[in-house]
Amino acid sequence: MEDKKDNTIILVVDDDEFVRMHLSVLVKSLGYICLTSGGSDEAIKVLEFKPVDIVLSDVVMPGMDGMALLDYIKEHHKDTDVIISTGFSQTANYAEVIKAGAIDFIKKPIDPAELEAKLARAIRERTLVRELERLSMHDALTSLLNRRSFNERFPYEVGRAHRQNYSLILALIDVDNFKEYNDEHGHQAGDEVLTCLGTILVECTRDKVDMCFRLGGDEFCVLLPQASAAQGMEIVERVRVSFLEKGFGGTTLSIGLVECKRDAALPKEEDDRSMMERADHAMYDAKNSGKNCVVSRIK
């Protein structure tokens, strides 16, 4: 398995400017993209707006230390791995750091050959783990993200939209008359309907921005970050019309549209469940309104 250096982003976090700059030069010389931060607060800001593959963080820093930063990353940036660095006189040890969730540990002064080996191994492991995760988080029929992926991604996206103060729209989509079509034409024809809808969802949404899921059976959903109510309606109408034009017998789409705003008065799990229930009700209102339509509950 080849190392994927060209687009791998390493964030170096160290309050010592000399060390930070030295590591930046070293990491870049190894073929990686390198960002730097003088402390945990600055690193958190970087992570909010830039996808980072690996954080190489000093353990002892003013304010939030490296272990606290590790805890934050494990909670809020699950796709980012962390390597902790520490001086020989410092108390953090390998077992403690790995148990806390870091993927590796390196002593200062950092040996270039050791860092090169640790980063190469981390990239290989990330590639393998991400492929296994991809297989477990995607629907085998449509290749869309599956329900397990939605259950993990939805609260994360709601929290991120809340922190960064942008809108997040959820569209819940159900195929009308699918059972009848499946019974009449057979399961293979039914699978073709579902596969075609998956393709339409990908084609009608924004690449690397929106997220498309098959929740199970003939139920799908789309998460639309940083989309206005009008943009959300435009996207799902495009989906509805594109599917209708395929002419799969009497099948059409009923779609419910809601905005996901965090309600601070509710526990997070209850709040997430409430958002899903509103989307579910909007979708069933679409079915009860004659099917083949979109019902928006965005105020």
Q: Which residues of the chain have pLDDT under 50?
A: 1-3
**Lookup: tokens for 298:** 């965005």
- Active site residue: 14, 53, 139, 218, which one? 218
What CATH class does 9-137 carry?
alpha beta
Residue 132's pLDDT is 86
pLDDT digits (tens, 9 = 90+) for 203-225: 999 998 999 999 999 999 999 99
pLDDT digits (tens, 9 = 90+) for 100-138: 999 999 998 999 999 999 999 999 998 898 888 878 899
Residue 90's pLDDT is 60
The domain spans of the chain are 9-137, 147-296
Fold of the domain built from segment(s) 147-296 = Alpha-Beta Plaits (3.30.70)
252-259 and 168-176 beta bridge pairing = antiparallel
CB atoms within 10 A of CB 23: 24
Residue 16's pLDDT is 94
Q: Which residues pair with 256 in a beta bridge?
A: 172, 295
The answer to whether residue 174 is catalytic is: no
The phi and psi torsions of 274 (rounded to 5 degrees) equal: -65, -40
**Lookup: tokens for 294:** 């979109």
